[in-house]
Amino acid sequence: MERGSLSRLEPPDEDFDSLVHLHRPRIFRFLLASLRDRETAENLTQDCFVRAYQARAQFRGASSIATWLMQIAANLVRNHESSSRLKFWRRSLHTGDDLADIGNSVPDRQQQSPETAVLVQEQVQAIWAAAGRLPSRQRTVFLLRFVEDMDLLEIAEVTGMKEGTVKAHLFRALHTVRARLEETQ
């Protein structure tokens, strides 16, 4: 679906179903990477599309549908974190199974030997552990850039930050993740 097509959905239910089918994996992946809790990510993914459906008449095409949906998802993450900060940090201490789920969500573009796959999985887990300890804004920028492969302008649009602020958060996040990875080696 192209920019602005949501405002012209005819009939709404059928086109919206195709929109959900197209964008749900990306929204879910971002929420799972952000929250590291499969059930919460599934619930918030559903909430994201419910909110989008309810607000579809307000969509004016100023951004792409993917960016608009990611804005909704990022807001849901912020709301969830602010309402349950203690629960979130308790969960981040026990992330072994959820990290494996996230690692398995990353597409594998090459055939790997079992040994290589284990090494890659360990590296992914170390990165997620380091990213999970980042401050909220840095973590969001990091995940949008490296999990969702969004450019800086898209991240700025999703988060409501200026591009320079996004760059600063990304720089700090990368520096922190690299430093934590070096500590563990």
Q: What is the pLDDT of residue 14?
A: 64
Q: Is the pTM of this model over 0.75?
A: no
- Region 141-146: mean pLDDT is 89
3-state secondary structure of 149: coil
Express each pLDDT in 151-180 by its tens digit: 899 999 999 999 999 999 999 999 998 888
Rounded Cα distance between 177 and 172, Å, is 9
pLDDT band at 26 (very low <50, low <70, confident <90, very high): very high
Question: Cβ contacts of residue 136 below 8 Å, gap of 6+?
Answer: 78, 81
Q: What is the pLDDT of residue 62?
A: 83
Preceding amide of 12 cis, omega within 30: no
Q: What is the pLDDT of residue 61?
A: 82
pLDDT band at 91 (very low <50, low <70, confident <90, very high): very low
Rounded Cα distance between 147 and 83, Å, is 24
Express each pLDDT in 94-140 by its tens digit: 444 444 454 454 444 455 677 777 777 787 788 888 888 999 999 99
Buried/exposed 21-41: b ≥16 CB within 10 Å, e otherwise = eebeebbbbbbbbbbbbeebb
The better pLDDT of the pair 159, 185 is held by: 159
Place of tokens 């009939």: 11
Number of domains in the chain: 1
- Which of 184, 183, 94, 79 has the alpha carbon at shortest distance from 136? 79
Q: What is the pLDDT of residue 69?
A: 94
Is pLDDT above 90 for 41?
A: yes
Range of 15's domain?
A: 5-184
Buried/exposed 50-77: b ≥16 CB within 10 Å, e otherwise = eebbeebeebeeebbbbbbbbbbbbebb
Q: Which DSSP symbol is given to 5? A: G
Which tokens go with 109? 């573009």
